[in-house]
Amino acid sequence: MEVVKQEIKIADGNQQMPCHLAKPASGGPYPGLIVIMEAFGLNNNIRNITDRFAAEGFVAIAPDIYFRQPNNVVGYDDLPNAMRLMQSVKDDEVTGDVQAAINYLKTLKEVKPRFGITGFCMGGKIAFLTACRIAEISASVPFYGGGMVTPGASGKAPIDYVDGLRAQVLAFFGGKDAFIPMDQVEKFKSTLQKAGKQAEVVVYEDADHGFMCDERPVFHPAHAKEAWEKTVAFFKKTLA
């Protein structure tokens, strides 16, 4: 499917938030999809993923949730600065950022009122957190989201908001991920089950953190392909 893409700025409170927008060149209306970046910022990898979702029949938007910070895109080899930027993200602010992206999508004639969210690394955590806090989100696909069950600066963990979750969830983790211990993944899974939420948790035992990113040594082509296909099918079903 042919895709139209552009860099835009959208209203976010009294500020303007840069975003990458990609949508099918014709037809619609299509479901809206928010794509949340990794800890490294709104880089070409996240733009490419957003474009790929548009090619599958979604109007996809990737907000720059670091827009309040200077020097807000860093290389994959610069973990200290990625951590610095990631620690600047506040739960309430990022929930507002995602709501602003949804509000913008609502203004587009090509978008029908069905919204999903996905994210990678830090973005995976945000994709789950905001799905718990924004009732308009119908589907959430977090990829290797760390800190799902551990309290952050707000004193609460994303899983603490689970009672507000209305979205169906498809979550991916890597068994070799040193950043996310398997006991945390099991707690995340069991808490969702106990809360009676519609959720599937997929663990690729031989995959590492960042296995979806073809710009990193940890890229796992087979699991990336399978996870992508599962994600697209999941969104097409839940956002129909």
Cβ-based neighbour number of residue 112 at 10 Å: 17
Q: Which of 64, 97, 121, 132 is catalytic?
A: 121
Instruction: Count the Cβ atoms, other than its own, within 10 Å of residue 152.
Output: 15
Instruction: Tell me the CB-side half-sphere exposure of residue 10, using CA atoms within 13 A.
Output: 24
Distance CA 236, CA 240 (A): 6
Residue 214: what are its φ and ψ, rounded to 5°? -80, 5
Distance of alpha carbon 65 from alpha carbon 17, whole angstroms: 8
Pick the catalytic residue from 51, 91, 97, 209: 209
Among residues 57, 47, 39, which one has the least CA distance to residue 8?
47
Active site residue 209: yes
Q: Where are the beta strands (DSSP E) in 74-192?
A: 111-120, 137-143, 168-174
Q: Is 9 helix (H, G, I), strand (E, B) or coil?
A: strand
Enumerate the H helices of the chain as residue ranges.
44-55, 79-86, 91-106, 122-133, 182-194, 221-238
Which among 51, 64, 91, 177 is annotated as catalytic? 177
Catalytic residues: 121, 177, 209
